[in-house]
Amino acid sequence: MLKIENLHASVAGKEILKGINLEIGAGEVHAIMGPNGSGKSTLSNVIAGRDGYKVTAGSVTYNGKDLLAMEPEERAWEGVFLAFQYPVEIPGVNNTYMLKAGVNAKRKHQGEQELDAIDFMQLVKEKAKLVELNESFLSRGVNEGFSGGEKKRNEIFQMAVLEPSLALLDETDSGLDIDALRIVANGVNKLRREDRSIVMVTHYQRLLDYIEPDFVHVLADGQILKSGDKSLALELESRGYDWVKEEAAA
């Protein structure tokens, strides 16, 4: 399980996360909601190990191991996966090749045998169906020329292939039309497992109509101001975020 304690992080000298405390148990689905600029992506990125963030206090442990001391790829080998808010295009790097390298690096790390090309292709084709991703996308450059929705779908497809035990979905719902949202959400639901935790970061309640969270947290101004169950999301939908801030300030 993931345990975040008193996490403070800053970007370019500016403090963004101001003492985050959060525990995510195996198999749980958490939604982190908050207004734009509240630090949701910062939190996801710090957990995944992106450069440029300075952790000034606190800790992040995963299954008892200190995540912050690991390189991003080591975190991936431990089962952490980040679906990017803005997936980057990597022309010239084949989507499937990248995934095969990723899967096999992880298997190697876990002392398992690496998959050969044929087994891997089979796996990949099977997983592509899950998010209704056309097979033609498999052999293209990573996100190269993909539309916004295709990129998000590709993220969930990668999640399906990499089989993480902790998936952080950063605004996977933004920029999707209703049909695409349904496809992506269906994919995520099919990937729910007892041993897989999912953290959905979003500022729309809409996603939660499709993927039902066990817990909902409100992140505002670098702090988790309130936690609750699914009904909190509905309340946020109708009342906005301000009342949470006021309540917290009181």
Partner 1 sequence: MSDLTLNIASLPGNVGVQAQRSQAADICARTGLPGKRDEDWKYTDISRLTATLGDAWWLTAPTAINSDATSLATIDDLDAYRLVFIAGQFQPEQSNLPDGVQLRPLSELLQNDTDDSAHCLFKLDESAPLFNGLLAANSALASDGLCACIGDGIKLDKPLYAVHVGNSTAHTLNGLMLGKGAEATLIEHFIGTDSDQAGLSNIATYLRLGDNAALTHYRLQLESDKQFHVGRVEVKQARDSRYTLHAVELGGSLSRADIVVNLAEPGASCALNGLFVASGRQHIDHHTRIDHNAPHCCSRENYRTVLDGRAHAVFNGKIVVAEGAVKTDSAQSNGNLLLSKHAEIDTKPELEIYNDDVKCAHGVTVGQLDKNQLFYLKSRGLSEDEARQLLTVAFADEILVAMDIKAVRSFIEKEAFSKLPNLGDLEGVLG
Ligand X SMILES: Nc1ncnc2c1ncn2[C@@H]1O[C@H](COP(=O)(O)OP(=O)(O)O)[C@@H](O)[C@H]1O
The structure tokens listed for 76 are 């991936």
Residues facing residue 66 across a β-bridge: 61
- Reported residue count of the chain is 250
Q: How far is the CB of 140 from partner 1 (least distance, A)?
A: 13
Angstrom distance (rounded) from CA 143 to CA 16: 29
Binding flags for partner 1, 130-149, as an x/- string (CB under 8 A)? -----------xx-------
Angstrom distance (rounded) from CA 186 to CA 109: 30
Q: In 10 A of CB 249, how many CB atoms?
A: 7
Residue holding tokens 């975040």? 4
Q: In 10 A of CB 37, how many CB atoms?
A: 13
Residues facing residue 5 across a β-bridge: 59
Binding flags for partner 1, 40-59, as an x/- string (CB under 8 A)? --------xxxx--------
Work out what residue 106 binds among partner 1, ligand X, Mg ion, none; the CB cut-off runs from 5 to 8 Å by kind: partner 1
Q: Applying CB under 5 A, does 44 fall inside the site for Mg ion? A: no
Pairing of the two strands 53-62 and 65-66: antiparallel
Q: Which stretch binds partner 1 (CB under 8 A): 12-20, 86-94, 119-127, 221-229?
A: 86-94
Binding flags for ligand X, 25-64, as an x/- string (CB under 6 A)? ---------x-xxxxxxx---------x------------
Given the rule CB under 8 A, which residues bind partner 1?
Answer: 48-51, 71-73, 75-77, 81-82, 84, 87-88, 90-93, 97-99, 101-103, 105-106, 141-142, 158, 162
Given the rule CB under 6 A, which residues bind ligand X?
Answer: 11-12, 16, 34, 36-42, 52
